């Protein structure tokens, strides 16, 4: 058995930290997102120990010292938050999918939003001086870093590709749509905001620290349950949960390369 920790449920959102199996006896601690009505609609949106899986009987421990540790059965530490003795007293997964460790005043000492993998959730950012890139998975089955990276640079967002034979990544795609003329980017945030007060439609956009945004899609329903993902093929897509249909379903509301390539 692999031990799990489940978070509390708020509203229709369910963000739970669980292990999922990548290959036989190789498990990753991850966050998933969906609705409380059906676990079959859950989608993985964050990984802790990418490229460093644990085996059967691994444990996730929130210690009295405030450190969150993922360890194999033999004690090998595969991943940790490095928050020992930093005043952490509380661990939770928030409704927006952010896993946080907080001090007694509620301040974040550590948060998963600071460590994106291949996905941005609504309200999550790429930041200068922090996590400024998304990195694709190697494949749907292989949970390690892949060939593509989406990078926030001082003046633009750019996608790079690194072939197995290349020592350095090469520029794969950029566009004026995702560039700024004035100032330097300090952050780019994925957002979902209602177009009108009635909330009949929502803009899904990348907001720039320099002002302005790049609107990706405008679904005609509440799109706060969305995520942006850099796929194994280098394509960027936004997935949005449509609660209007009978059983609920994830829809692709934005595709950067409709034909599959730039």
Non-local CB neighbours of 178 within 8 Å, separated by 6+ positions: 156, 157, 158, 206, 214
Q: Which pLDDT value is given to residue 2?
A: 34
Is residue 71 within 8 A of residue 79, CB to CB? The reply is no
Helices (H) and strands (E) in the chain, counts: 0, 21
pLDDT tens per residue, the chain (262 residues)?
233 333 322 222 223 446 666 677 888 888 888 776 666 778 889 999 999 999 888 888 999 999 999 999 999 999 999 999 999 999 998 989 999 999 999 999 999 999 999 999 999 999 999 999 999 999 888 889 999 999 999 999 999 999 998 889 999 999 999 999 999 999 999 999 999 888 789 999 999 999 999 999 999 999 999 999 999 999 999 999 987 765 668 999 999 999 999 8
**Angle ∠(204,229,150) on CA atoms, nearest 5:** 100
Q: Which pLDDT value is given to residue 46?
A: 93
Q: Which pLDDT value is given to residue 14?
A: 28
Q: Which pLDDT value is given to residue 10?
A: 23
Non-local CB neighbours of 226 within 8 Å, separated by 6+ positions: 121, 122, 190, 192, 204, 238, 239, 240, 241, 253
Q: Which pLDDT value is given to residue 198?
A: 80
**Contacts by residues 141-148 (CB-CB < 8 Å, ≥ 24 positions apart):** 141/22, 141/23, 142/22, 142/23, 143/22, 143/26, 143/28, 143/47, 143/50, 143/51, 143/53, 144/50, 144/51, 145/50, 145/51, 146/118, 146/232, 147/234, 148/172, 148/230, 148/231, 148/232, 148/233, 148/234
Predicted TM-score (pTM) of the model is 0.90
Q: Which pLDDT value is given to residue 7?
A: 33
Q: Which pLDDT value is given to residue 244?
A: 75
**Angle ∠(121,124,130) on CA atoms, nearest 5:** 135
How far apart CA 245 and CA 133 sit, in angstroms, is: 34
Q: Name the CATH superfamily for 116-262.
A: Bulb-type lectin domain (2.90.10.10)
Fold entry, domain 1-112 = Agglutinin, subunit A (2.90.10)
Give CATH 2.90.10.10 domain extents, the chain: 1-112, 116-262
Please give the backbone phi and psi of residue 81, each rounded to the nearest 5 degrees, phi first.
-90, -10
Q: Which pLDDT value is given to residue 246?
A: 58
DSSP per position, 37-104: TEEEEEEEEEESSTT--B-TT-EEEE-TTS-EEEE-TTS-EEEE---TTS---EEEE-TTS-EEEE-T
Is residue 119 within 8 A of residue 228, CB to CB? The reply is yes
Q: Which pLDDT value is given to residue 180?
A: 96
Q: Which pLDDT value is given to residue 24?
A: 75
Q: Which pLDDT value is given to residue 25?
A: 80
Strand-pair partners of 35: 13, 38
């Amino acid at each position: 058995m692999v031990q799990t920790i489940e978070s509390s449920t708020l509203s229709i959102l369910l963000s739970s930290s669980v292990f999922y199996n990548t290959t036989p006896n190789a498990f990753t601690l991850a966050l998933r997102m969906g609705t409380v009505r059906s676990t079959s609609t859950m989608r993985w949106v964050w990984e802790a120990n990418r490229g460093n899986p644990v085996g059967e009987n691994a444990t996730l421990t929130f210690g009295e010292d405030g450190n969150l540790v993922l360890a194999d059965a033999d004690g090998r530490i595969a991943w940790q938050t490095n928050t020992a003795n930093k005043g952490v007293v509380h661990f939770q997964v928030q409704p927006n999918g952010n896993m946080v460790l907080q001090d007694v005043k509620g301040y974040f000492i550590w948060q998963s939003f600071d460590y994106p993998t291949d996905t941005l959730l609504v309200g999550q950012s790429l930041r200068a001086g922090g996590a400024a890139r998304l990195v694709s998975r190697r494949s749907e089955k292989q949970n390690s870093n892949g060939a593509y990276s989406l990078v926030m640079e001082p003046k633009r967002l750019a996608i790079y590709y690194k072939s197995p034979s290349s020592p350095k990544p090469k520029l794969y795609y950029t566009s004026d749509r995702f560039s700024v003329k004035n100032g330097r980017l300090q952050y780019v945030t994925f957002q979902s905001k209602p177009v009108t007060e009635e909330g009949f439609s929502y803009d899904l956009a990348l907001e720039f620290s320099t002002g302005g945004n790049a609107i990706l899609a405008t679904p005609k329903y509440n799109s706060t349950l969305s995520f942006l993902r850099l796929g194994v093929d280098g394509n960027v897509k936004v997935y949005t949960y449509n609660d209007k249909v009978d059983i609920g379903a994830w829809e692709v509301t934005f595709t950067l390369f409709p034909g599959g390539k730039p």
